[in-house]
Amino acid sequence: MLDAKIPAGPLDDKWTDYKGHCKLVNPANKRKLEVIIVGTGLAGASAAASLGELGYKVKAFCFQDSPRRAHSIAAQGGINAAKNYQNDGDSVFRLFYDTIKGGDYRAREANVHRLAEVSANIIDQCVAQGVPFAREYGGLLSNRSFGGTQVQRTFYAAGQTGQQLLIGAYQALERQVALDNVKMYARHEMLEVVMVDGKARGIIAKDLVSGKLERHFGHAVLLCSGGYGNVFYLSTNAMGSNVTAAWKAHKKGAAFANPCFTQIHPTCIPVSGDHQSKLTLMSESLRNDGRIWVPKKQGDNRKASEIPEEERDYYLERRYPAFGNLVPRDVASRAAKERCDAGYGVGTSKQAVYLDYGAAIERYGRIEASKEGKDNASIEEIITWGKGVVKEKYGNLFDMYEKITGENPYEVPMRIYPAVHYTMGGLWVDYELQTTLKGLYALGEANFSDHGANRLGASALMQGLADGYFVIPYTIGNYLADEIYNKPISTDHEAFVAAEKEVSERIEKLMSIKGTQTVESFHKRLGKIIWDKCGMARNEQGLKQAIAEVQALKKEFWSDVKIPGTVHEYNPELDKAGRVADFIELGELMCIDALNRNESCGGHFREEYQTPDGEALRDDENFMYVAAWEFKGDSNWELHKEPLQYEVIKPTQRNYK
Amino acid sequence: MNLTLKVWRQKNTNEKGGFETYQVKDISSEMSFLEMFDVLNEQLIRDNKEPIAFDHDCREGICGMCSMYINGKPHGPWQANTTCQLHMRAFKDGDTIVVEPWRAKAFPVIKDLVVDRSAFDRIIQAGGYISVNTGNAVDGNALPIEKAKADASFAAAMCIGCGACVAACKNSSAMLFLSAKVSHLALLPQGNPERKTRVVDMVAQMDKEGFGACTNTGACEATCPKEISIANIARLNQEYLVAGLTANK
């Protein structure tokens, strides 16, 4: 079932060879070929713009009121690229190597190498579009450091890199809308894939304003619908982010790969109470300059400012001297959990650690004093200057922290705790980004391909844009070249009729339950099960319990959910109910996958499998494979294994010490 | 804390709307404003009433989707803030809070507090981009850009397209939104080739959408969650004038 279609030949030449030999579609024929794109984040918007420019007829869908609002917009810290502008030893190989190692040797070499190869083009493209990246005084692009690397290869626009990149892609997309190459459907949600003769030929979408179902034909369908972090209820994802598009494809036959590989980001604002609806990330870039610590004494209730330097435990610097505060996310998150579980946590909940800018403010202040030639500046002056520098680099993040917590992070250390942020798992795709369903592709976070068991910071933006701008324009041609003889299929075709019927029956079924519990309450309960038992640490017993609990929750949901309103109107509760129903099914598969993987790797930490000093212990002999699950029916999946072959890199135990 | 809410309810675009009054109890000061609305909606659903429709997504102040007019101010009482980042410590026990949708001819109400802002997308379609196809770009460092200009461009590009500027303006003018986009691109050398047509076409589209004229009142700047400066409007006027006098089109 799984043919990754990795081109033959040396790693360095695979992508070049592929591009040189893949099939092409001539411009006149492109105009006759229709492509459906679901989702308009970095992957979807860049794909829609690029395919529109090539001349394909594109239809793009998003559930938000404008494509510009997709959740890529919230990415803060930056985007990696192997430009080596800093002359610090970066290269395509190093970016490739860091990403494979960061992913704990559970990603495909060929895909990751291609990602590293095109990374430099992404920066060039974005600059050309007018993305205002941060610059040095000489006018050249600025870089910062990110976790899991020892070079500075991250390009950024203050703490709003995702916003600026998405606006760039959105502008390119809107330009194609104006040229009539792309037709945009905002406030629409995809609810089914339509398969005709074994190929994806369209979708059933719901107009969220009128509640009407629509049929849309495409010679190919691209899912760029993001990740499934909201299965945890609380995550840094947007409220609307969901797995529904990917899940519908999965239930139609697309294999779902490594669902248990989820990323818990170490630096988020801690939960403040039961009312919490979402969590907010504090960019990883803050670990560049901030130092993470907890008191050396358990249950220390003193204020941070009252704890002297020698009574602070900078545990990341202590445990990982080589990478210090810049260890990868999975390592940093587990270390924070370990300290809090051991009773060293801070704040009222004791489920938090400090991220302290005191030292950075002073260091930057001294640099400014030196620039101004003021050798005998007072400490107050130095701190004022230092705050100015920190404000320029991270001002919007500090403001956000203050708005949420009511505390001023320039004066007191921030309290942070890990939170669900990204999902490395997703629809299984081959080298061409095609799923196991012909004609159905998955791009960006929606696929599983590049990050293995743990994603490095600033690599999600890179992957989304790589897939959309530089990979799919080539690989889709290789498929569509054989489709030029196929005329568009009428949406009166029986496959469309049947798919629409399926969707409307499901909606009717949801509406007819008329139970007593709200959608939100089910989502919260699901999130708690998954977070407690399939979160930062997992074990066999807990996962088995979780599977039983999720199955019971599913039964309860389908017999007691309460949905107000009617079908043919703007009804967000109904839309949410459909998404939560899919999350419940996915939650079960995540636990099954986590239970199957009897090893620890990256973000997947099975308590039974750890080294004596608490690091993840892989089992390469038995688990060096991608777990791709095929849907076989209610609570029933078949596992297919794609063995991972490392031809260039030799997997070792990850070491950040 | 316990609060009284007066919320605009409107079934759809065509039907007439009106205020409804609701009571919410035991609201924590640590909740966000939208979490308070979540509590209210859960309560309404349990009481077999229809929940209030409102736009929201990222809940971290960057997507621009949330859009409530709170006590006569877009996004509520805090400076430089979006509705989703407004927290309940801004209010005190016993307060009455009035919540309305954005009000503008160009933003028709879809339902309750949800409005249609697609006019903004059409303004961008009229020219809010640089015409460069994928794959054409030269090296990112081939074109050094003065830091001050890059920073000024970024400051304008921070616009989240929420529409608060329009909602705050007595004329429902979209000049701050438009000027932010024009400035973002006009301040960069990459934006130069299309500089004149861009501003002329975008202004024409803005007028066509039914936004009002700018009378330099400054309510837009005062309410903008991203503190986009009104100086951008001055730059827009200058760009427009120059384009009008010198463009070939």
Looking at the structure, tell me whether residues A101 and A176 fall in a common domain: yes
Asked if the Cβ–Cβ distance from B191 to A140 is below 8 Å, we say no
| Residue of A72, A80, A135 best to disrupt the B interface, most CBs of B under 10 A | A135
Looking at the structure, tell me whether residues A413 and A350 fall in a common domain: yes
Looking at the structure, tell me whether residues B130 and B180 fall in a common domain: yes
- Pick the residue from chain B with its C-alpha nearest to A171: B129
pLDDT in tens, A541-585: 999 999 999 999 999 999 999 999 999 999 999 999 999 999 999
| Residue of A278, A282, A402 best to disrupt the B interface, most CBs of B under 10 A | A278
Looking at the structure, tell me whether residues A540 and A413 fall in a common domain: no
Segment B232-242 mean pLDDT: 97
What gap in Å lies between CA A260 and CA A605, rounded to an integer? 10
Looking at the structure, tell me whether residues B98 and B151 fall in a common domain: no
Which amino acid would we find at residue A600?
A: S
Looking at the structure, tell me whether residues A230 and A133 fall in a common domain: yes
For residue B52, give the CATH number of its domain: 3.10.20.30
What gap in Å lies between CA A435 and CA A248, rounded to an integer? 13
pLDDT in tens, B76-88: 999 999 999 999 9
- Answer for the pair A292, A353: CB distance below 8 angstroms, yes or no: yes
Instruction: Extract the runs of DSSP E, i.e. beta strands, from A287-394.
Output: 291-295, 312-313, 353-356
Asked if the Cβ–Cβ distance from A160 to B158 is below 8 Å, we say yes
Looking at the structure, tell me whether residues A434 and A518 fall in a common domain: no
CA geometry: angle at A513 spanning A509 and A518, to 5°?
Answer: 115
Looking at the structure, tell me whether residues B150 and B237 fall in a common domain: yes
H or E segment to which residue A163 belongs: helix A161-178
Please choose, from the candidates A181, A182, A222, A215, the residue with its C-alpha nearest in 3D space to the C-alpha of residue A200: A222
Pick B138's closest partner by Cβ from A124, A277, A473: A124
Interchain contact A404–B (C-beta under 8 A): yes
Please choose, from the candidates A222, A239, A301, A213, the residue with its C-alpha nearest in 3D space to the C-alpha of residue A498: A213
Residues from chain A contacting residue B140 (CB–CB below 8 Å): 83, 123-124, 126-127, 133, 141
Beta bridge mates, B111:
B114
Residue A514 CB neighbour total at 10 angstroms = 10
What gap in Å lies between CA A407 and CA A355, rounded to an integer? 13
Asked whether residue A655 is assigned to any structural domain, the reply reads no
Asked if the Cβ–Cβ distance from A160 to B121 is below 8 Å, we say no
Helices (H), chain B: 33-46, 118-125, 147-157, 164-168, 175-186, 195-208, 219-223, 231-246
Asked whether residue A615 is assigned to any structural domain, the reply reads yes
Asked if the Cβ–Cβ distance from A520 to B12 is below 8 Å, we say no
Q: Residue A653: its pLDDT value, please?
A: 85
Asked if the Cβ–Cβ distance from B28 to A399 is below 8 Å, we say no
Looking at the structure, tell me whether residues A436 and A405 fall in a common domain: no
Phi/psi for A636 (5° steps) reads -140, 120
Residues from chain B contacting residue A521 (CB–CB below 8 Å): 42
pLDDT in tens, B24-46: 999 999 999 999 999 999 999 99
- DSSP states along A573-631: HHHHHHHHHHHHHHHHHHHHHHHH--S-BTTB-BTTSB-TTS-B---HHHH-EEEEEEE
Which residues, in sequence order, are CB contacts of A454 under 8 Å at separation 6+?
Answer: A102, A103, A104, A261, A263, A328, A329, A330, A424, A601, A602, A603
Looking at the structure, tell me whether residues B96 and B59 fall in a common domain: yes
H or E segment to which residue A190 belongs: strand A188-196
For residue A346, give the CATH number of its domain: 3.90.700.10
What gap in Å lies between CA A145 and CA A385, rounded to an integer? 22
Looking at the structure, tell me whether residues A160 and A285 fall in a common domain: no
Asked if the Cβ–Cβ distance from A65 to B12 is below 8 Å, we say no
Pick A132's closest partner by Cβ from B85, B135, B188: B188
**Residue with structure tokens 């095929």?**
A630
User: What is the total count of domains within chain B?
Assistant: 2
Residues from chain A contacting residue B143 (CB–CB below 8 Å): 127
Instruction: Provide the edge-to-edge strand list for the sheet that holds A213-217.
Output: A188-196, A199-207, A213-217
Pick B87's closest partner by Cβ from A50, A175, A403: A403
The residue from B89, B110, B131 where one domain ends is B110
Instruction: Please report the residues numbered 559 through 588 in chain A whose beta carbons come closer than 8 angstroms to any beta carbon of chain B.
Output: 562, 564-565, 569-570, 572-573
Please tell me chain A's helix, strand, coil percentages from 3-state DSSP, rounded to the nearest 5: 45, 20, 40
For residue A526, give the CATH number of its domain: 1.20.58.100
Cβ-based burial of A379 (10 A; exposed 0-12, middle 13-18, buried ≥19): exposed
Rounded to 10 degrees, the C-alpha dihedral A245/A250/A251/A253 comes to 130
Looking at the structure, tell me whether residues A566 and A499 fall in a common domain: yes
Looking at the structure, tell me whether residues A394 and A516 fall in a common domain: no
Asked whether residue A151 is assigned to any structural domain, the reply reads yes
- DSSP states along A415-458: EEEEEEEEES-EE---TTSB-SSBTEEE-GGGB-SSSTTSPPTT
Q: Å from B213 to nearest chain A CA?
A: 24
Tokens of A478: 């290789």
Pick A137's closest partner by Cβ from B42, B117, B147: B147
Looking at the structure, tell me whether residues B199 and B123 fall in a common domain: yes
Asked if the Cβ–Cβ distance from A406 to B184 is below 8 Å, we say no
Asked if the Cβ–Cβ distance from A174 to B137 is below 8 Å, we say no
Looking at the structure, tell me whether residues B135 and B91 fall in a common domain: no
Which residues, in sequence order, are CB contacts of A246 under 8 Å at separation 6+?
Answer: A223, A225, A228, A254, A256, A426, A427, A442, A446
Asked if the Cβ–Cβ distance from B42 to A175 is below 8 Å, we say no
| Residue of A239, A349, A421 best to disrupt the B interface, most CBs of B under 10 A | A239
What gap in Å lies between CA A516 and CA A509, rounded to an integer? 15
- Pick the residue from chain B with its C-alpha nearest to A407: B30
pLDDT in tens, B213-226: 999 999 999 999 99
Q: Å from A277 to nearest chain B CA?
A: 7
Distances (CA, A) of A264 to A1, A2, A290, A532: 31, 29, 19, 13
Mean of per-residue pLDDT scores for chain B: 97
Residues from chain B contacting residue A65 (CB–CB below 8 Å): 55, 65, 116-118
| Residue of B30, B47, B58 best to disrupt the A interface, most CBs of A under 10 A | B58
Q: Residue B136: its pLDDT value, please?
A: 87
The residue from A382, A403, A419 where one domain ends is A419
Please choose, from the candidates A25, A47, A22, the residue with its C-alpha nearest in 3D space to the C-alpha of residue A36: A47
- Answer for the pair B82, B66: CB distance below 8 angstroms, yes or no: yes
The residue from B110, B139, B154 where one domain ends is B110
Which 3 state secondary structure label does DSSP give A281?
strand
Asked if the Cβ–Cβ distance from A400 to B38 is below 8 Å, we say no
Which residues, in sequence order, are CB contacts of A128 under 8 Å at separation 6+?
Answer: B130, B132, B136, B137, B138, B190
Does the pLDDT at position B247 exceed 80? no
What gap in Å lies between CA A147 and CA A152, rounded to an integer? 10
The residue from A433, A450, A483 where one domain ends is A483
Which 3 state secondary structure label does DSSP give B83?
helix
Looking at the structure, tell me whether residues B240 and B124 fall in a common domain: yes
Distances (CA, A) of A293 to A281, A302, A307, A614: 18, 14, 11, 19
Interchain contact A177–B (C-beta under 8 A): yes
- Residue-range definition of the domain harbouring residue A374: 266-419
Global pTM reads 0.97
Q: Å from B80 to nearest chain A CA?
A: 10
Which 3 state secondary structure label does DSSP give A638?
strand
- Residue-range definition of the domain harbouring residue B96: 3-110
Q: What is the ipTM, given to two decimal places? A: 0.98
Q: What is the β-pairing status of strands B73-74 and B69-70?
A: antiparallel
Mean pLDDT split into 10-residue runs, chain A, 657 residues: 95 98 97 98 98 98 98 95 97 97 96 98 98 96 89 93 98 98 98 98 98 98 98 98 98 98 95 92 89 96 94 96 92 95 93 95 95 91 94 88 93 96 98 98 97 96 98 98 95 98 98 98 98 96 98 98 97 98 98 98 96 92 98 98 96 87
For residue B178, give the CATH number of its domain: 1.10.1060.10
Looking at the structure, tell me whether residues B176 and B130 fall in a common domain: yes
Looking at the structure, tell me whether residues B153 and B58 fall in a common domain: no
pLDDT in tens, A259-311: 999 999 999 999 988 999 999 999 888 998 999 999 999 999 999 999 999 99
Asked whether residue A3 is assigned to any structural domain, the reply reads no
Residues from chain A contacting residue B39 (CB–CB below 8 Å): 275
Which amino acid would we find at residue A260?
A: C
Interface A–B counts its CB contacts (< 8 A) at 216
Interchain contact B215–A (C-beta under 8 A): no
Size of chain A in residues: 657
Residues from chain B contacting residue A128 (CB–CB below 8 Å): 130, 132, 136-138, 190
Distance from the Cα of residue A471 to its chain's centroid: 18
Query: CA end-to-end span of chain B, whole Å?
Result: 60
Looking at the structure, tell me whether residues A540 and A555 fall in a common domain: yes
Instruction: Please report the residues numbered 216 through 275 in chain A whose beta carbons come closer than 8 angstroms to any beta carbon of chain B.
Output: 236, 238-240, 272-273, 275
**Residue with structure tokens 């990917």?**
A246
Looking at the structure, tell me whether residues B100 and B125 fall in a common domain: no
- DSSP states along B160-218: ----HHHHH-TT-B-HHHHHHHHHHHHTSGGGGGGHHHHHHHHHHHHHHTT-B------
Looking at the structure, tell me whether residues B190 and B214 fall in a common domain: yes
Instruction: Provide the edge-to-edge strand list for the sheet that holds A220-223.
Output: A182-185, A57-61, A34-38, A220-223, A440-442
Distances (CA, A) of A317 to A270, A291, A313: 22, 9, 9
User: What is the total count of domains within chain A?
Assistant: 3
Looking at the structure, tell me whether residues B76 and B172 fall in a common domain: no
Residue A167 CB neighbour total at 10 angstroms = 29
Please choose, from the candidates B25, B20, B32, B95, the residue with its C-alpha nearest in 3D space to the C-alpha of residue B61: B32
Looking at the structure, tell me whether residues A325 and A349 fall in a common domain: yes
Looking at the structure, tell me whether residues A123 and A86 fall in a common domain: yes
- Answer for the pair B116, B110: CB distance below 8 angstroms, yes or no: yes
Q: Residue B249: its pLDDT value, please?
A: 58
Interchain contact A283–B (C-beta under 8 A): no
For residue A71, give the CATH number of its domain: 3.50.50.60
Which 3 state secondary structure label does DSSP give A294?
strand
The residue from A439, A464, A483 where one domain ends is A483
The residue from B110, B127, B149 where one domain ends is B110
Residues from chain A contacting residue B45 (CB–CB below 8 Å): 518, 562, 564, 573
